Amino acid sequence: MSTEKKKLQFDCSKCTGYCCSYDHIEVSEADIARLAKHFKLSVTAAREKFIKIVEGKTPVLRHRKDHIFKTTCTFFDQDKRCCTIYAARPSVCRQYPNGTTCGYYHFLRFERRHADDETMIP
């Protein structure tokens, strides 16, 4: 068994943040506590400010309208197209895309290469 870490085949800093547009970015109690600490708020205040409940019980990050995608996570910088709380981001964001490749990143690279425009957003 190899102990060598597999190389990532994507670069979030060159992406438009498609994963940040997912409707339900689920958070755990530990994630809420991490956000509270990051913003120097109580857990209750962080929950009220940043979280909404969907399907009657699942806590998710709030969203706001976006000029590219319908909506994005409230912590997504819509001009720079990056996470504003990267160090305090939820576990699901830390684990995404759960492997060494990201399908959206590969799609984006393909479209940009064919348009000969490294900044285009399809």
Of the candidates 37, 35, 81, the residue with the CA atom closest to the CA atom of residue 59: 35
Rounded Cα distance, 57 and 89, in Å? 21
In single-letter form, the type of residue at position 79 comes to D
pLDDT on residue 5: 65
pLDDT by residue (tens digit) across 70-95? 999 999 999 999 999 999 999 999 99
pLDDT by residue (tens digit) across 98-116? 888 888 888 989 999 999 9
Phi/psi for 14 (5° steps) reads -110, 15
| Average pLDDT score over residue span 13-21 | 89
Which residue in this structure is represented by tokens 């984006």? 108
- DSSP letters of 43-112? HHHHHHHHEEEETTTEEEE-EEE-SSSSEEETTEETTTTEES-GGG--HHHHHTTSSS--HHHHHHHHHH
How confident is residue 120, by pLDDT bands cut at 50, 70 and 90?
confident
The full set of domain ranges for the chain reads 22-98
Residue 1 pLDDT exceeds 60: no
Rounded Cα distance, 64 and 41, in Å? 21
